[in-house]
């Protein structure tokens, strides 16, 4: 049996779903390259450990930026490495591949993603829009004539869509999400404490004490180590959750405004469905504490965090592939 593969090609992580097996791979979208020889040294988790810690001849590259390919060759090498690692390609078989992308990508970006997946997988490649696939993965029935709204927050993009009868009715994709929050945390610490921190540290701060609201909740603290921006010596500070909220508030506002824009253009019947059913929050950004409350407060619509937000896109891609296979079989 040919095992088809669903790929969530994210700016921060790549997840791969194999039909019949579920999610079999979840690794950071990072490739370490020796720039003198152009040789790939490591991919995924191993390469991620090298970010900010490499000698000058080794570069840890993130080949995707804002949900699209910024370095085609490196993306292709990364995908090939991951797919070979799974050994889903049999002697005769060429797996079907379903790959997911943000809603507002250009035709050139679309072609680049398909081409990279074709070269890596060898079989037919289908490209689907991320929020639609995330909604399926989150367990929403998008094929009914009812309005479903999903906010999919990744590393590079926030994708917002209203879906009915299996198709996107209105959508918006903004290139501000988890990675921008990390940058804002770093900038805040540099400006306020004159201390420089790395990408890993900013991500850790967001996960451990990050919050979108500071209403009546306990203040969390975290010791943060970095380098003094003026003297260059090691330095440590104590950072609080309200400070992180202040640092990322601009991004949170932009995400809420984008969701508002989408809600304003949907037909009234679908809007009333959304008021009844709520908005599904998915993607890694859904794990940011208090984000559901912050969105719900402004939009006055209930917001539900999906059960496994990080896996939804990959799961949804797998479910769509299985649905396609069943449809094909019933035609035969």
- Annotated ligand binding at 287? The verdict is yes
Residue with tokens 């006055």: 300
- Annotated ligand binding at 206? The verdict is yes
- Annotated ligand binding at 122? The verdict is no
φ, ψ dihedrals at 311, nearest 5°: -100, -10
Nearest to 151 by CA among 315, 5, 294: 294
- Annotated ligand binding at 166? The verdict is no
Could you tell me the two tokens for 172? Answer: 């918006």
Residue 240: which residues within 8 A CB-CB, separation 6 or more?
A: 209, 219, 220, 221
- Annotated ligand binding at 96? The verdict is no
Query: Cα 80–101–92 angle (5° rounding)?
Result: 35
- Annotated ligand binding at 319? The verdict is no
- Annotated ligand binding at 32? The verdict is no
- Annotated ligand binding at 12? The verdict is yes
- Annotated ligand binding at 86? The verdict is no
- Rounded to whole angstroms, how far apart are CA atoms 295 and 303? 7
- Annotated ligand binding at 11? The verdict is yes
- Annotated ligand binding at 205? The verdict is yes
- Per the annotation, where are the binding residues for ATP? 11-13, 155-157, 203-206, 284-287
- Per the annotation, where are the binding residues? 11-13, 155-157, 203-206, 284-287
């Amino acid at each position: 049996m040919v095992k088809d593969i669903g790929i969530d090609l994210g700016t921060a992580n790549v997840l791969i779903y194999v039909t019949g097996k579920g999610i079999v791979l979840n690794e950071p979208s990072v490739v370490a390259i020796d720039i003198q020889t152009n040789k790939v040294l490591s991919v995924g988790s191993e390469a991620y450990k090298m970010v900010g810690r490499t000698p000058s001849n080794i570069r840890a590259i993130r080949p995707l930026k804002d949900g699209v390919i910024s370095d085609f060759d490196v993306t292709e090498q990364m995908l090939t490495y991951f797919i070979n690692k799974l050994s889903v390609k049999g002697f005769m078989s060429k797996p079907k591949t379903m790959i997911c992308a943000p809603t507002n990508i250009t035709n050139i970006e679309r072609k680049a993603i398909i081409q990279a997946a074709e070269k890596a997988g060898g079989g037919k490649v289908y490209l689907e829009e991320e929020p639609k696939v995330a909604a399926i993965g989150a367990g929403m029935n998008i094929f009914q004539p009812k309005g479903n709204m999903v906010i999919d927050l990744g590393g590079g993009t926030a994708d917002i869509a209203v879906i009915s009868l299996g198709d996107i009715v209105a959508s918006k994709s903004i290139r501000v999400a988890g990675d921008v929050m990390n940058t804002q945390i770093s900038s805040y610490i540099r400006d306020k404490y004159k201390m420089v921190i790395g990408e890993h540290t900013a991500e850790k701060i967001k996960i451990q004490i990050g919050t979108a609201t500071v209403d009546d909740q306990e203040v969390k603290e975290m010791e943060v180590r970095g380098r003094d921006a003026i003297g260059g010596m090691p330095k440590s500070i104590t950072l609080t959750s309200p400070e992180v909220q202040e640092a990322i508030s601009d991004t949170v506002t932009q995400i809420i405004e984008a969701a508002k824009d989408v809600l304003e253009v949907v037909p009234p019947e679908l809007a009333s469905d959304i008021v009844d059913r709520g908005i599904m929050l998915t993607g890694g950004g859904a794990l940011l504490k208090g984000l559901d409350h912050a969105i719900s407060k402004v939009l006055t619509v209930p917001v539900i965090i999906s059960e496994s937000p990080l896996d939804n896109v990959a799961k949804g891609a797998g479910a769509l592939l299985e649905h396609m296979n069943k449809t094909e079989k019933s035609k035969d």
